[in-house]
Structure 1
Amino acid sequence: MNVTVFGATGAIGQLVVADLLVAGHTVTAYARNVGKVPSTWRQDVRLIVGEITDAAVIDQAVTSADAIISALGPSIDRKATGLPLIEGTRLIIEAMKRHGVERFIGNGTPSILDKRDKPNLQQTLIGFMARNLLGRAYREMLGMSDLIMNSGLDWTIVRFSAPKDGPARGVNRYGFFGTDKIGMAVTRADIAAFTAAQLTDDRFHNAAPAISN
């Protein structure tokens, strides 16, 4: 498939790109900072550089794609201002609709609610901490997710709580809060692998599965 990855130079985004290449997909990487582009990409990745609020460049990145993967995540820097990822997500969705691209796969946190969730302490505490400690990032994450979930696209949002570095260990727990047993920690390598796998995994269309090791 032809896959465009937004947030491609981030810690998870780079791993998503690597997994897609190994799987034989053709990758377009959307990057804001050329200095973060891995030298290992070389000619294997089509690179497009632009701001996440640049409608014309986003449109160029979406053209000819079969699917979009977004590894975008809000900054947790307390000095950060505005909600640029909400606007960027809106522009991505608009470009997808113009070009007839239906599949969107993104990342999120347990603060995002799925209709399959049942209230439980774990998710409640995570949401409480996000609202009170990282209010701007919390609003941005929810705003992005609301746009995606109400877009009419074929979407999947992969939720996780405590990403960490290290080799892949396998996503041993996945599903929905209050129904399935979900842990906290998960490696970024496993997040990336699970995210990339949603291109061919049909279990979680229009759903937000939570994952952990």
Structure 2
Amino acid sequence: MRLLLFGGTGAMGTLLAREYLWVYRGSSLVIYVRDPAKVPQDIAEDPNVVIVQGELDDMDRLSLAMHGVDAVITALGPTGRKGPFYPSNTPIADAYIRIMVTMKGHGVRRLIALTTPSVRDPEDQFNLPMAFLRKTFATIAPNVVKDIIAIGRVIRTQREELDWTIIRLALHSSDHSDPENNCEVVAGYMGDGRTNTFSSRHGAAAFIIQELDRREWIWKSPILSKP
């Protein structure tokens, strides 16, 4: 297996990198980053890691990173820290389009994309806490939500050409207070009686790396949360 990871310097991305290197020991991990200095030292120094520096609009660098890859995981996402100052276009969704074009050019079909429950799914049912969170976030950072929704839309147009899974992560809670129980996650849909509003980054990372081979959620958009 040779995996290409986007967003590998964020909190979720670094967990995914470490989980992949542990589960797929001896396999290659390509991390595409703007600033290689932000890759944690233990990951950067792993002999199975290849770091490719580039921007998300640099098609030549994207193509270089995609060479020989079997699957792609994207932990990219718009940041809510800019709030009302987030651009009114959809820069991250546009980056996904370029990534998917590059995937198809290299014959790579498997894509796992991380996003939030702001992306809706036909299987979702009404859930008051989640609906409140969606409404609040959309009010505080409407352009961020616009970009997140666009990410889901552009990925779903590729059903014939890519084997995608959209992982919608619930709110992250600490994994430190109860290490024996806090890392478990379940996959489901809003209002199904299984999922709730909180998730575990560690549990989500383990689930996502397992999904590379399990392929149980092809062309689906599960929410990951604590039970």
TM-score normalized by the length of structure 1 = 0.92
Structure 1: gaps (5+ residues): none
Give the letter for the 1:27 counterpart: L
Give the letter for the 2:103 counterpart: M
* Equivalence map 1:2-17=2 (5 Å): 2-17=2-17
* Equivalence map 1:52-91=2 (5 Å): 52-78=56-82, 79-81=85-87, 82-91=89-98
Is residue 211 of structure 2 the alignment partner of residue 204 of structure 1?
Answer: no
Tell me how far 1:111 sits from its aligned partner: 1.1
Tell me how far 1:121 sits from its aligned partner: 2.2
Moved more, 61-70 or 156-165: 156-165
Aligned to 1:28, the other structure's residue is in SS state strand
Give the letter for the 2:73 counterpart: I
* Equivalence map 1:157-176=2 (5 Å): 157-167=166-176, 169-176=182-189
Confirm or deny: 8 A CA contact 2:125 2:191 kept in the other structure: yes
Tell me how far 1:108 sits from its aligned partner: 1.2
User: What do residues 4-44 of structure 1 show as CA deviations (whole Å, max 9, x unaligned)?
Assistant: 00001111001101111111232100111122111112133
Is residue 121 of structure 2 the alignment partner of residue 121 of structure 1?
Answer: no
1-structure distance, mates of 2:80, 2:23: 32
Is residue 99 of structure 2 the alignment partner of residue 95 of structure 1?
Answer: no
The alignment-based identity, stated in percent, is: 27
2-structure distance, mates of 1:30, 1:95: 13
Structure 2: gaps (5+ residues): none
Instruction: Specify which of 186, 198, 215 is matched with residue 185 of structure 1.
Output: 198
Moved more, 81-90 or 10-19: 81-90
Give the letter for the 2:38 counterpart: K
2-structure distance, mates of 1:192, 1:144: 20
**2:21 matched residue in structure 1:** 21
2-structure distance, mates of 1:56, 1:16: 25
Confirm or deny: 8 A CA contact 2:80 2:144 kept in the other structure: yes
1-structure distance, mates of 2:140, 2:86: 14
Tell me how far 1:172 sits from its aligned partner: 3.8
User: What do residues 43-90 of structure 1 show as CA deviations (whole Å, max 9, x unaligned)?
Assistant: 331000111222211121112111100011111122443532122111
**2:147 matched residue in structure 1:** 140
